[in-house]
Homo-oligomer: A and B are copies of this chain.
Amino acid sequence: MDPASSPHHVVVVGAGFGGLEATRNLTGAPVRITIIDRRNHHLFQPLLYQVATTSLATSEIAWPIRQLLRNREDVTTLLGTVTGVDPAGKRVLMEDGEAIPYDTLVLATGARHAYFGHDEWEPYAPGLKTLEDATTIRRRILMAFEKAERETDPERRRARLTFVIIGGGPTGVELAGTIAELAHDTLPREFRNIDTREARVVLIEAGERVLSAFVPAQSAYAKSALEKLGVEVELGRAVSECNAQGVVYGGQHLPAKTIIWAAGVAASPAAEWLGASADRAGRVMVEPDLTVAGHPEIFVIGDTAHVTTPEGKPVPGVAPAAKQQGWHIAATIKARLKGGSSVRPFRYKNDGNLATIGKRAAVIDFGWIKLNGRIAWWLWGLAHIYFLIGLRNRLSVALSWLWIYTTGQRSARLITQGSAQTPAKPK
A122–B423 CB distance below 8 A? yes
B114–A423 CB distance below 8 A? yes
List B contacts of A59 (CB < 8 A): 57, 411-414
Residue of B nearest to A283 (CB): B427
Residue of B nearest to A142 (CB): B40
Residue of B nearest to A418 (CB): B418
A268 lies within 8 A of chain B by Cβ: yes
- Whether A40 contacts B414 in the complex (CB less than 8 A), given A58-B58, A282-B426, A426-B116, comes out as yes
Closest approach, in angstroms, between the C-beta of A43 and any C-beta of chain B? 10
Quick one: which of A160-205 are within 8 Å of B by CB? 187, 189-192
Quick one: which of A46-61 are within 8 Å of B by CB? 57-60
A323 lies within 8 A of chain B by Cβ: no
Number of copies: 2
List B contacts of A280 (CB < 8 A): 426-427
B112–A416 CB distance below 8 A? no
Interface size on A, residues (CB 8 A): 83
List B contacts of A241 (CB < 8 A): none
Bitwise, A61-73 to B at CB < 8 A (1) or not (0) is 0101011011100
A419 lies within 8 A of chain B by Cβ: yes
A413–B70 CB distance below 8 A? no
List B contacts of A411 (CB < 8 A): 59, 392-393, 396
A119 lies within 8 A of chain B by Cβ: yes
A413–B132 CB distance below 8 A? no
A369 lies within 8 A of chain B by Cβ: no
A403 lies within 8 A of chain B by Cβ: yes
